[in-house]
Structure 1
Amino acid sequence: MQHEKVIKNSVYLKDSLSISIRTYFSIQHIQSAALFARHTYDVEKNYDGIFSEKLFSQHSAYVTAAILSSVFFLEATINELFADTVDTNHGMVDKLTPLTKNLMAQMWKLEVPRTASFNILQKYQIALTLAQKPLFDSGTQPYQDVHLLIKLRNDLTHYEPEWVKSPAGDDFCPDDIHKYEKMLKGKFSPNQLTGEGNPFYPHKCLGHGCAEWSVNTSLKFADDFFSRMGLIPPYNHVRAKLDTK
């Protein structure tokens, strides 16, 4: 963008104005996750018991999107924090000690934990390590639920079909219980569009209960992380908009 200044109607001085925009997509991801959870809730709440392929398709899209967006939020959040230590001198990174900020910036420049070689949970643990803050205990909450959430996201992303026995069958036995039923049953209410004959995974699992759990799980983990780091969560200003019903 060019601006010209006129001096005594004869001398022209030209200066250039550079405008740069920095977008933090983590906030969009968590807002999207909450929105999809609300849509899932509306479908289940208004379901009249009459099968509709269009309705079921929309419901499946909403709950899957809520799960994916919740995990997108987690990864974008930690990536944004690391990236800010490199080329941003305001906002959250101002609250970091100079040593922590420098360590995080230097490691990020070395692609640690920037590349796909590091999973999401490792990225958070590395940040805590560099800041000399207490690490998450992998055997307790909220780490365990986030681990399950990420695993579910990965299995949906890299989906492979499998035979799952219906509990309505005469030959159904405890050994036939799906791994996700063992890991997730009881953590949230089942999909209200399903019946007794539907297996837990994926049918009963993928409903509003799971969508809501995904949003809440990701937020609890992120909240815990920023508390350990001594930072105010960057999404605090949209928290009131993250209803799941």
Structure 2
Amino acid sequence: MEYDKVFKEIIQIKESKSITTRKHFSIQNIQSAALFTRNAYVIEKNYDGVFSDELFSLHIAYVTASILFSVFFLEAAINELFADTVESNSEIAKKLNPTTIQLMAEMWKLEVPRTANYKILQKYQIALVLAQKQIFDPGNLPYQDVNLLVKLRNSLVHYEPEWVKSPASDDFGPDDIHTYAYEKKLRGKFLPNPLTGQGNPFYPDKCLGHGCAEWAVNSSVIFADAFFSRMGLLSPYDHIRDRLNTK
């Protein structure tokens, strides 16, 4: 009897080693982005005007994380779709026409657009071309916003400190202005960080607030929605859409 018990346990262990799992992490990424955005909102809502380094650090951590995870979501979502075309049991990919499935699967096996040599938004355009669907116009929304979002993410990931002049007196003229590379494009997209003052530069101080985090989440979801719609597919994150509140 004891031998049978040991034998069964060994068999169970061996069987457990054969179990494989496959997770779509894009869904977790966008939920994380929304969560961090809500956390930033709570800080801003309860801000009493008394500045502290600890509070500012926590706030900017939430906002930065939201931006990063929004872009993580974009890349994971397109990678998952390409990978799904290789899997015959994928509920999402199998709704594509057979020719598109074959083309995307074969290209993915050839590392196209699988490697870091391909930009995130380029991967989406390639998928649309393979599916013979209309690609995004880089000069219009929603492409413009996510392209700007990716650039903002890159500037945070590959951060390089630079001198930025901010107005400190009335004699501060236009020729004195030295701004962040994407400041003109980002201004007006969202409200500035309310934890900052007049003397703070736009980037990173005024830029990195709840408004920016909310814009990052919404822009990434709007773009992904448009992509899956063009592909004729249901968005794989539809079932968690009610968890993507940003306030």
Which TM-score applies when normalising by structure 1? 0.91
* Consecutive aligned runs of 4 or more in structure 1 exceeding 6 Å deviation: none
Deviation per CA, 1:39-86: give whole Å up to 9, x if none. 000011101111111111100100000000000000000000001111
Q: Distance in 1 between matches of 2:246 and 2:111?
A: 36
Deviation per CA, 1:131-159: give whole Å up to 9, x if none. 00000000000000111000000010000
SS in 1 for 2:182: helix
Instruction: Report the CA distance between 1:201 and its aligned residue.
Output: 1.2
The aligned counterpart of 2:131 is: 131
Amino acid at match of 1:44: E
SS in 2 for 1:41: helix
Distance 1:101 1:201, change over 3 A: same
Amino acid at match of 1:104: M
The aligned counterpart of 1:161 is: 161
Residue 140 (str. 1) matches residue 145 (str. 2): no
Structure 2 stretches lacking a partner, 5+ long? 5-13
- 81-90 or 131-140: bigger deviation: 81-90
Q: Distance in 1 between matches of 2:74 and 2:173?
A: 37
Amino acid at match of 1:232: L
- 79-88 or 133-142: bigger deviation: 79-88
If each structure's strand is expressed as a fraction of its own residues, which one has the higher value? Answer: 1
The aligned counterpart of 2:11 is: none
Instruction: Report the CA distance between 1:171 and its aligned residue.
Output: 5.1
Task: Name which of 178, 198, 203 aligns with 1:196.
Answer: 198
SS in 2 for 1:117: coil
SS in 2 for 1:198: coil
Aligned residue pair count: 232
Q: Distance in 1 between matches of 2:155 and 2:25?
A: 23
Structure 1 stretches lacking a partner, 5+ long? 5-14
Structure-to-structure mapping, 1:14-93, within 5 angstroms = 18-93=18-93
CA RMSD of superposed structures (Å): 1.5
**Percent sequence identity over aligned pairs:** 69
Q: Distance in 2 between matches of 1:62 and 1:127?
A: 32
Which TM-score applies when normalising by structure 2? 0.90
Q: Distance in 1 between matches of 2:36 and 2:15?
A: 43
Instruction: Report the CA distance between 1:168 and its aligned residue.
Output: 2.6
Amino acid at match of 2:122: Q
Instruction: Report the CA distance between 1:21 and its aligned residue.
Output: 1.1
